[in-house]
Amino acid sequence: MSALRVGVIGTGMMGEVHARLLSERIGSARVVAVSDPDAGRRRAVAEAVGADEFDDPMGLIATPGVDAVVIASPDDSHAGFAVAAVQAGKPCLCEKPLATTVTDARSVVDAEVASGGRLVQVGFMREFDEGHASLAALRLSGALGEVVAVRSTHVNPAPWAPGVSAERVITQSMIHDIHSARLLSGAEVESVSASAVPFAAGSPEVDAGAVRFVSARLDLAGGAVALLDVNVSSAYGYRVVAEVIGSEGTARTSEGSAVDMWSSGARVAKVSANWPEHFSAAYLTELTAWVAAASAGGATGPSAWDGLMANVVAGALVEAVSRGERVEIPRAERPALYER
Ligand SMILES: NC(=O)c1ccc[n+]([C@@H]2O[C@H](COP(=O)([O-])OP(=O)(O)OC[C@H]3O[C@@H](n4cnc5c(N)ncnc54)[C@H](O)[C@@H]3O)[C@@H](O)[C@H]2O)c1
């Protein structure tokens, strides 16, 4: 079978990671086209992987020489490109979040349902992380009994300068934890509440309104709860830990360190510096699964429906933080296309 010819839209940090993994580590794919308004970044990635440059991302999607598309441009451009890919009948891996509004996310779901089959995979790559995948499989096996609670801890080393609002923490970072909570519980979210811890007034390093910690509670259909927190300024590195607490047992992703060190009266285990290092294996597994599914004309893993639900829950959490109240989530009918 000939290699899948991939076009990459957005050649910033994430687009370059995907383009290099596809071209250097996945024999069944070739990056043939890239598009980015930043001509310098576009050229650097095009030369590194031997791809043609496109000024217009819509032209890249339409070109007959591109079989499938990776969307790694800024968040608010994702939905338009995903709809165009679906309408062209081309599979796409769309980075998270699927959209920045529920309306835009819904437009991708509607386009995909109209096309009659799955073409969109959303970049919630934790689904391809060994620890998260094992937890999800354990829950499905029944070994943990009924899910009582899901807990997740997400730690970033430092806020993006000059600090981030609670809205950005939720829509750009906690959105991964929202997807994990749905995946690990197998339940939809019915209502949410949340709070944020701001930096001290007058902190020199951040803007007013920047927060250092967001904590959320998701009440799930069936009575279980998900407790999520994101710390955006750990000062020590990056961590993600997920835990499923069940009626018959509890399981948690382990924080394995290749080496523990004993020195100066302390035992030290290395933590990842940041997410590219922590999830490097997951990105490769994600892309490998995507290429296999896209080569067969479809998609696998996190769907446009998952992307839409994550947008709905994130929007409700933003509202919950700003109002200081619990926010109900209206029930939505899941199209048959998205049964797992
Ligand atoms: N899954 C993950 O773990 C993960 C991690 C980081 C970022 N992301 C997501 O990946 C996406 C890209 O993030 P990044 O960190 O690489 O950002 P980035 O700023 O480094 O790169 C974005 C690139 O898109 C280009 N761009 C802007 N408008 C465009 C357009 N209309 N068409 C094509 N390209 C355009 C920019 O010039 C830039 O080169 C974001 O949506 C982000 O949320 C996902």
> Would the CB of 302 count as within 6 Å of ligand 1?
no
Residue with tokens 């446009």, as numbered in its chain:
304
Can you give the pLDDT at residue 40? 98
User: Tell me, what DSSP letter sits at residue 20?
Assistant: H
Residue with tokens 């509607």, as numbered in its chain:
110
> Would the CB of 53 count as within 6 Å of ligand 1?
no
pLDDT of the chain, 340 residues: tens digit per residue: 699 999 999 999 999 999 999 999 999 999 999 999 999 999 999 999 999 999 999 999 999 999 999 999 999 999 999 999 999 999 999 999 999 999 999 999 999 999 999 999 999 999 999 999 999 999 999 999 999 999 999 999 987 777 889 999 999 999 999 999 999 999 999 999 999 999 887 777 778 789 999 999 999 999 999 999 999 999 899 999 999 999 999 999 998 777 889 999 999 988 999 999 999 999 999 999 999 999 999 999 999 999 999 999 999 999 999 999 999 999 999 999 998 7
**Substitution site in 36, 83, 175 for ligand 1 pocket (most atoms within 8 Å of beta carbon):** 36
> Would the CB of 100 count as within 6 Å of ligand 1?
no
**Substitution site in 14, 61, 121 for ligand 1 pocket (most atoms within 8 Å of beta carbon):** 14
Q: CA dist 308 to 32, 173, 312, Å?
A: 30, 16, 6
State the distance from the centre of ligand 1 to the C-alpha of 94, rounded, in angstroms. Answer: 11
Atom of ligand 1 nearest to the CA of 73: 24
The pair of structure tokens assigned to 117 is 């089959």
Atom of ligand 1 nearest to the CA of 13: 16
Question: Beta strands 239-246 and 250-252: pairing type?
Answer: antiparallel
State the distance from the centre of ligand 1 to the C-alpha of 259, rounded, in angstroms. Answer: 33
State the distance from the centre of ligand 1 to the C-alpha of 223, rounded, in angstroms. Answer: 37
Please tell me the residue having the least CA distance from ligand 1 atom 19.
12
Q: Across the chain, what does the average pLDDT equal?
A: 95
Please give the Cα distance from 331 to 340 (Å, whole number).
Answer: 18
**Substitution site in 17, 95, 129, 170 for ligand 1 pocket (most atoms within 8 Å of beta carbon):** 95
Q: Are 166 and 318 in contact (CB under 8 A)?
A: yes
The pair of structure tokens assigned to 312 is 């709905």
State the distance from the centre of ligand 1 to the C-alpha of 12, rounded, in angstroms. Answer: 5
Can you give the pLDDT at residue 258? 77
Whole-model pTM: value is 0.96
DSSP structure string for 138-149: HHHHTTT-SEEE
> Would the CB of 127 count as within 6 Å of ligand 1?
no
User: Tell me, what DSSP letter sits at residue 97?
Assistant: P
Q: Are 156 and 182 in contact (CB under 8 A)?
A: no
299 residue type, one letter: A
* pLDDT tens for each residue of 76-121: 999 999 999 999 999 999 999 999 999 999 999 999 999 999 999 9
**Residues contacting 13, CB < 8 A, separation 6+:** 276
Domains annotated for the chain, with CATH where assigned, are: 4-126+282-304 (3.40.50.720), 128-278+308-330 (3.30.360.10)
Conformation bin of residue 89: beta by default, left when phi > 0, alpha when psi is -120 to 50? left
Please give the Cα distance from 39 to 285 (Å, whole number).
Answer: 30
Sequence-distant contacts of 291-295: CB under 8 A, at least 24 apart: 291/4, 291/6, 291/22, 291/26, 291/28, 291/29, 291/68, 292/28, 293/91, 293/121, 294/4, 294/67, 294/68, 294/91, 294/93, 294/121, 295/1, 295/4, 295/28, 295/67
Atom of ligand 1 nearest to the CA of 75: 41
> Would the CB of 41 count as within 6 Å of ligand 1?
yes
Helix (H, G, I), strand (E, B) or coil at 166: helix
Please give the Cα distance from 44 to 80 (Å, whole number).
Answer: 25
